[in-house]
Amino acid sequence: MRIAVANIPSSAVESLRLALSRAPQHDLAWVVKSCAEAVRMCAEDIPDLLLMGLPVSVSEVVDCTRRIMKISPCPILVAAVDYERQISEVFEVMGAGALDVVNVPAQDNAEEARELLRKIEAVRKRIASSAQAKERPATPPDRDKNLPSLVVVGASTGGPNAIATILTALPKGFSSAILVVQHVDQQFADGIARWLGQHCRLSVNIARSGDRPLVGHVLIASTNDHMVLTADRVIAYTAEPVDYPYRPSVDVFFESVAQNWPKPSAAVLLTGMGRDGASGLMTLKRAGWYTIAQDKASCAVYGMPKAAIELGAAKRVLPLVEIAGELMLYEKSKSPGLTRG
């Protein structure tokens, strides 16, 4: 992979060089000192991956990340000195389009160097993969009236801010359960649940094995395994498929919902790189679910929704700011497809 570096002090750049030297398949494409230079360089020479430094002031990083993702999109990995002390700033940059975060390894810290290379390899797999989860015919719904209405959401690059936008607009009395799969490393799952909880009036927690969807509660996938709904209609995690680059996978989750949740409800696919979620959204649509994809203009990265739209999986294509309202209309009517296109 051709890896670029921006907005990182010279001493830390040398640490990155040393870490990357452990993996000869990676080359350092270019190094610039500021975010603004990164925007210019990405327009001239798009790298396979950009390592973007995270200073104390995050606004410039957020702005430049948005500009890069609009003008010359490429995968961005936030490189922090100590991301645990900047978790709010990390989520802001991820909301603007960054994929993940990693600490810049100290020169004598082999464990941090391995973690950097692990994150880079995960990005490489995500870029390289064009695989789609195989479609399975959904079990015909039995219209179990005891089950709550369910909203399922999938997101990747730019997802945290998109999810926060939707949750913020939903009322405290929203009478559906909400399950979310966001591409994020498990070490950030608890933090992102707390961060999202600060933005809305609903209860937000990480999803644990054995949890059941509850009205007014938001559960976020919380491990690097795939979150699924079982035939008993509880949450579980599975390592299969083990070679799938998106972990947790939106496709795997959506298809388990179509298979095991017998009361068609609403599904939303948000901003993200790649195709994960497209075939799963189609499976839900075929099972009678009301499917929504975020539109191009409001996406940080128009990859996952685009794939779903091209597949014909979305009944509605909406700007981000309209999705919460659409979910509330769905909640009232329960048959939105009969009254709206």
HEC string of 109-165 equals CHHHHHHHHHHHHHHHHHHHCCCCCCCCCCCCCCCCCCCCEEEEEEECCCHHHHHHH
What positions carry a catalytic annotation?
Answer: 156, 183, 276
Same fold, 2-128 and 149-339: yes
CATH number, span 2-128: 3.40.50.2300
H-run or E-run covering 291: strand 290-294
pLDDT tens-digit map of 316-330: 999 999 999 999 999
- Which pLDDT score, from 0 to 100, does residue 24 have? 81
| Spans of all domains in the chain | 2-128, 149-339
**Which CATH number, 2.60.40.10, 1.10.10.10, 3.40.50.180, 3.40.50.1820, labels domain 149-339?**
3.40.50.180
Q: What is the pLDDT along the chain (341 residues), one digit of tens a residue?
A: 899 999 988 888 888 888 888 888 888 899 999 988 999 999 889 999 999 998 767 888 999 998 998 888 889 999 887 777 777 788 888 888 888 888 888 877 888 888 889 888 888 877 665 333 333 344 444 445 578 899 999 999 999 999 999 999 999 889 899 999 998 888 888 888 999 998 899 999 999 999 999 999 999 999 889 999 998 899 999 988 887 888 899 999 999 999 899 888 999 999 998 999 999 999 999 999 999 999 999 999 999 999 999 999 999 999 999 999 999 999 887 644 444 44
Per-residue pLDDT, 156: 93
CA distance 294 to 93: 20
C-alpha span between 186 and 3 (Å, rounded): 24
pLDDT for 269: 98
Residue 176 contacts by C-beta under 8 Å, 6 or more apart in sequence?
148, 149, 150, 151, 215, 265, 266, 327, 331
Quote the mean pLDDT of the chain: 86
The whole-model pTM stands at 0.69
